[in-house]
Amino acid sequence: MKLFPFTLPAFLLAFFLWFPGLLLVACGTGGAGALRLQGETMGTTWSVIVVPGDNHPLQAAPVRSGIEQVLRVVNDRMSTWQPDSELSRFNRNRTTNWFPVSSELVDVVEAARGISEISAGIYDVTVGPLVNLWGFGAGQAGTQPVPAEAEIEAARARVGFQHLETREQPPALRKQQPDMYVDLSSIAKGYGVDQVGEYLEAQGSGRYMVEIGGEVRTLGLSPRGDAWRIAIEKPVDLGRAVQQGLKLERGGLATSGDYRNFFTENSRRYSHTIDPVSGRPVIHRLASVSVLAQNTMLADGYATLLMAMGEVKGREFALEHGIDAFFIWRTEHGFDSFATDGFRQLLVAPD
């Protein structure tokens, strides 16, 4: 059942796991071998490879159960697909009163607001009305006819992160405009990855890889004793190919792209990445951007922001703010790319 397919599909799979020799890793086994577990969540799939600690043997069944419980909690708080989630109930609330929520939901909203503030609103989790209008919302297929100007202006009037307030004690959210709609799809999936990673650490593992729909967190060494290897996908509409490989021992990695969810009308391509200021899909050559950060939640949010900015402004912003990122943009002859210094240090040639 699709509990949480985030409504901005740019945050769907933008790279896939690249792990040579993966078939040699024990699947679903305990003892000294690594566990490899998979499942479904948030309208996509999750994958975990975890190496048990010397004094912390792990069994597949309880670890899987624990992971699924962690993901259920994230859905229960932040899903826009799940009608009874905290976020869905807040979105249905048509008042400007404080609305009680979990402290975890407040934390994620505050993290999102921080990115909104530093970007002057180019990143905005209240952009949902525009996303829905253009046909890229929850349950939509991205085939909506181009909306009329009056419809765009009406939706824009409901957008603005500065009208969303948070309170830590007791935890609550408040809208300054009753019909605001909050969509955490650009950051909550990364948060879910982090939560699974923290769960595994609490079970005694210091070596794992967690992936949900392309968002990744790693810690320690892979089962074969070297850094985890991940492949950044070439941003093509059809098929799968590797653009670049990288190695990662610790941190979060997220990718945003425009090549999996778009529609074409009158020979013009409309991406799901919406500019909150203009109310329209962004127009630039950037096809994909990957971000490394201390956690996957921040990587997720910043990848979304840089994708909205485009290849020129995004690169300038990343360099100015010390964000480790890898950009891939379209040219007349295919693709070109740029990596910041911190990202470049982790790049490796695919096997």
pLDDT tens column, 54-64: 777 889 999 99
Return d(Cα 126, Cα 183) in angstroms, integer.
6
Q: Which tokens is 97 given?
A: 């009163």
What average pLDDT does range 199-216 have in this prediction? 95
Query: What is the enclosing helix (H) or strand (E) of 331?
Result: strand 324-331
> Where is pLDDT greater, at 146 or 319?
319
- The pLDDT score that the predictor gives to residue 13 is 31
- The pLDDT score that the predictor gives to residue 72 is 98
- The pLDDT score that the predictor gives to residue 2 is 26
- The pLDDT score that the predictor gives to residue 326 is 97
Q: How would residue 52 be classed by pLDDT, with cut points 50, 70 and 90?
A: confident
Report whether 202 contacts 70 (CB < 8 A).
no
Q: Which of 83, 75, 49 is nearest to 64 (CA)?
A: 49
The three-class DSSP label of residue 236 is: coil
Return d(Cα 138, Cα 131) in angstroms, integer.
9
- The pLDDT of residue 26 is above 60: no
Residue length of the chain: 351
> What proportion of the chain, given as a percentage, has pLDDT over 90?
66
At 139, phi and psi to the nearest 5? 80, 0
Report whether 126 contacts 250 (CB < 8 A).
no
What average pLDDT does range 239-251 have in this prediction? 82
What average pLDDT does range 312-323 have in this prediction? 98
Q: Which tokens is 78 given?
A: 């932040």
Report whether 113 contacts 262 (CB < 8 A).
no
- The pLDDT of residue 157 is above 90: yes
- Name which of 43-57, 251-265, 283-297 the model is least confident about: 251-265
- The pLDDT score that the predictor gives to residue 263 is 53
What average pLDDT does range 90-94 have in this prediction? 97
- The pLDDT score that the predictor gives to residue 30 is 35
Return d(Cα 48, Cα 28) in angstroms, integer.
10
What average pLDDT does range 59-86 have in this prediction? 96
Which residues does residue 289 pair with via DSSP β-bridges, in sequence order?
A: 256, 327
Return d(Cα 10, Cα 102) in angstroms, integer.
27
Average pLDDT in the chain: 85
Q: How would residue 130 be classed by pLDDT, with cut points 50, 70 and 90?
A: very high
pTM of the model as a whole: 0.87
- The pLDDT score that the predictor gives to residue 187 is 97
Cα dihedral: 200, 49, 106, 154 (round 10)? -170
The C-alpha angle 115, 324, 258, rounded to 5 degrees, equals 70
What average pLDDT does range 61-90 have in this prediction? 97
What average pLDDT does range 30-56 have in this prediction? 84
Report whether 45 contacts 213 (CB < 8 A).
yes
What average pLDDT does range 104-119 have in this prediction? 98
Which residues does residue 40 pair with via DSSP β-bridges, in sequence order?
A: 45
Return d(Cα 258, Cα 235) in angstroms, integer.
8
The C-alpha angle 285, 290, 295, rounded to 5 degrees, equals 150
Dihedral sign from CA coordinates of 45, 54, 203, 32: positive
The C-alpha angle 221, 246, 227, rounded to 5 degrees, equals 10
